[in-house]
Structure 1
Amino acid sequence: MQDFNMEEHPHRRYNALTGEWVLVSPHRAKRPWQGQVEKGQVEKRPEYDAQCYLCPGNERAGGEKNPDYKSTYTFVNDFSALLPDTPQGEEIEGELFRAESEQGICKVICFSPRHDLTIPEMSHEAVCGVVDVWQKEYRELGQKKFINYVQIFENKGAVMGCSNPHPHGQIWSSRSIPVEPMKEQLQQMAYFKKHGRTLLSDYLTQELEKDQRIIYKNDHFVVLAPYWAVWPFEAMIVSRRPVPSLDHLSEYEKSGLADAYRHLTILYDNLFETSFPYSAGLHQAPTDGREHPEWHLHMHFYPPLLRSATVKKFMVGYEMLANPQRDITPETSTRRLKELPSVHYKFR
């Protein structure tokens, strides 16, 4: 009888942040691939593109003209998914049919005036500027009476649905708390009530002791592959100090977040020597005017690439109808990322 080995045998892992499960099937990493192969990304872009609606001085798709900005720049999305002046209303028909109006503000963050610079290729100081803007926008949007949650996120690469190659992120702020943060809200609240500590404080302490999934760390933030990771090279950046939001970060901690963000994305690019696509976003306390000691600031990274720059992981079939599944273990992906140089491949 074989002994159970998590690096070899199928098993389920519990996600303490959401209360859900993921199926891990490490033996499937050995199967041949005859499925979809993505086109390689075009690496060379100009510093300025006259046709880009996010470059400085250019006219945007909505008709507005960008200023000649020199650093990180934000504006209200010309085609916002949420609007601040949506009238309040609802429709309820018994228990099975329910709808309600939603208000919000959507903004775009241009990371840099340079059309050709992604986060891993920017300087540490420039990435600090991005984090400064995150903090400012979280504070300002969160102070509006009808905004109860501020979701800051980034879609990088065409394979992740990014509609413009100019490096940028987005902020969707809303009256309601969205589904994924609400799952984490409930789990973190239950843990805090039981232990008097944040869930991620205890989780981070144990991860640092085990040192099996730690990708990178500095004085203020830790980059790790979550025990319950779904995507092949999924990662999470967690603050060492249990702060509920960006609003509570010191200047030193903001610099630490910028360093962790930049370092992780350099490793991503170096893995397959390509501009590594991902969706990433910050999860933090709601802006509903209440105290949230249960919340612990963290940032998720969900990259789709699996075997190479052209083979990605698909979330279909079993994942959509049953529960998420992954092949390589988080421990294996951690080892592969940690072995990579910390200097971007373009600059070596």
Structure 2
Amino acid sequence: MNHSNSNISFDITEHSHRRFNQLLGEWVLVSPHRSKRPWQGQQETTEKDTRPQYDPTCYLCPGNVRANGETNPQYPSTFVFTNDFAALQAESPSGSFAKGMLQAESERGICKVICFSPRHDLTLSDMEATEIKKVVDLWQEQYQELGAMEEISYVQIFENKGSVMGSSNPHPHGQIWAQSSVPGEPAKETEQQEAYFQQNNRSLLSDYLAIELEEKTRIVVENEHFVALVPFWAVWPFETIIIPRRHFGHLGQITEDEKFGYAGIMKQLSSVYDRLFNTSFPYSAGIHQAPTDGKDYPGWHLHMHFYP
């Protein structure tokens, strides 16, 4: 390896380096010089989305019949139901499999679908903040209801927007997976946040957010209660994270004012994404919050990841 440039001062905006992801306790590679490449890629105009307000063939629209034969109610705002094609089943038998390095064990859970709006032609960025607030209300209700079940250790609330992200239906909706174990990424975040809190008696994300608010180089949008920013350790292009200004661990602890703030920041951020390439921008977004396994997690600080 050539060390002839060892006398040059390191510049984080110019030189390749590793950045530490505080939430996962892992290093990620960053190559800032690659962003300076001239753009010679494809440019095209996008077709205008002309979805109808109601689609008689959509299994999520009000009054329509789903695959299992059930008829959706004429819901006026939000609607939640158990997924007809669930990835997890509550009645899965206990068991495990082991053959040398090949290991598996059963996983129980409940999968639900949440329709954000009765209208087939909307996304979060099209909805009014008061309408999105009703979605937050339902998220809170479902987190508390599912998390109270003895066999549920974690409640995942997420949205895959756009067919490129695997969404099988353009009707505005998200999913909830409540399961018997804590998934890998939230488990790592639990370990990092609890260790930081034990050592500092403060939230890891509160201290991190204070640095970002001082630097003001990665903030995308903000309001009284929430800040959306590009995390210092971002890996994906246009990756963002929404962090509450107040330290609280899960949706059961959010206030009414913060619900309105949450709805507003999601509308702002999704609108920014849509304007980026003048299209309904696809992404995977997920709320990360404290496990529901009956233990106390004073270090947990709710946040939401967006991976476009």
Class of the TM-score when normalised by the shorter of the 2 chains = over 0.9
2:120 and 2:172 in contact (8 A); partners too: yes
- Give deviations 1:308-336, integer Å, cap 9, x for gaps: xxxxxxxxxxxxxxxxxxxxxxxxxxxxx
Instruction: For 2:282 and 2:67, locate their aligned partners in 1 and report how far apart those are by CA, in whole Å.
Output: 24
| Letter matched to residue 155 of structure 1 | N
1:157 and 1:277 in contact (8 A); partners too: yes
Secondary structure of 2:68 counterpart: coil
**Partner residue of 1:293?**
298
**Partner residue of 1:6?**
12
Instruction: For 1:38 and 1:11, locate their aligned partners in 2 and report how far apart those are by CA, in whole Å.
Output: 34
**Partner residue of 2:188?**
183
Secondary structure of 2:55 counterpart: coil
Secondary structure of 1:137 counterpart: helix
Aligned positions, number: 302
Which structure 1 segments of 5+ residues have no match? 304-348
Which structure 2 segments of 5+ residues have no match? 1-6
**Partner residue of 1:337?**
none
Secondary structure of 2:125 counterpart: helix
Instruction: For 2:266 and 2:33, locate their aligned partners in 1 and report how far apart those are by CA, in whole Å.
Output: 31
Instruction: For 1:11 and 1:245, locate their aligned partners in 2 and report how far apart those are by CA, in whole Å.
Output: 34
Task: Check if 1:115 corresponds to 2:120.
Answer: yes
1:144 to 144, 149, 155: 149
Task: Check if 1:49 corresponds to 2:55.
Answer: yes
2:46 and 2:278 in contact (8 A); partners too: no
- Report the alpha carbon displacement of residue 30 of structure 1 after superposing the two structures with TM: 4.1
**Partner residue of 2:287?**
282
- Report the alpha carbon displacement of residue 78 of structure 1 after superposing the two structures with TM: 0.2
**Partner residue of 2:75?**
69
CA-atom RMSD, angstroms? Answer: 1.9
Map 1:238-253; keep pairs closer than 5 Å: 238-253=243-258
Compared CA separation, residues 41 and 282, structure 1 to 2 (3 A): farther
**Partner residue of 2:4?**
none
1:62 and 1:79 in contact (8 A); partners too: no
**Partner residue of 2:29?**
23
What is the TM-score of this pair, normalised by structure 2?
0.93
1:41 and 1:275 in contact (8 A); partners too: no
**Partner residue of 1:156?**
161
2:227 to 219, 222, 228: 222
Compared CA separation, residues 299 and 107, structure 1 to 2 (3 A): same
Using the aligned pairs only, state the percent identity: 60
Compared CA separation, residues 12 and 36, structure 1 to 2 (3 A): farther
- Report the alpha carbon displacement of residue 35 of structure 1 after superposing the two structures with TM: 7.8
1:192 to 197, 205, 210: 197
Compared CA separation, residues 103 and 280, structure 1 to 2 (3 A): same
Secondary structure of 1:129 counterpart: helix
| Letter matched to residue 268 of structure 2 | H
- Report the alpha carbon displacement of residue 93 of structure 1 after superposing the two structures with TM: 4.9
Instruction: For 1:42 and 1:218, locate their aligned partners in 2 and report how far apart those are by CA, in whole Å.
Output: 30
Instruction: For 1:292 and 1:249, locate their aligned partners in 2 and report how far apart those are by CA, in whole Å.
Output: 16
* 21-30 or 38-47, larger mean C-alpha shift: 38-47
**Partner residue of 2:216?**
211
Secondary structure of 2:262 counterpart: helix
Map 1:329-348; keep pairs closer than 5 Å: none
- Report the alpha carbon displacement of residue 138 of structure 1 after superposing the two structures with TM: 0.2
Secondary structure of 2:174 counterpart: strand
- Give deviations 1:223-264, integer Å, cap 9, x for gaps: 111000111111111111110100001100111111111111
- The structure whose RCO (Cα within 8 Å, separation 6+) is larger is 1
Instruction: For 1:239 and 1:86, locate their aligned partners in 2 and report how far apart those are by CA, in whole Å.
Output: 36
* 16-25 or 120-129, larger mean C-alpha shift: 16-25
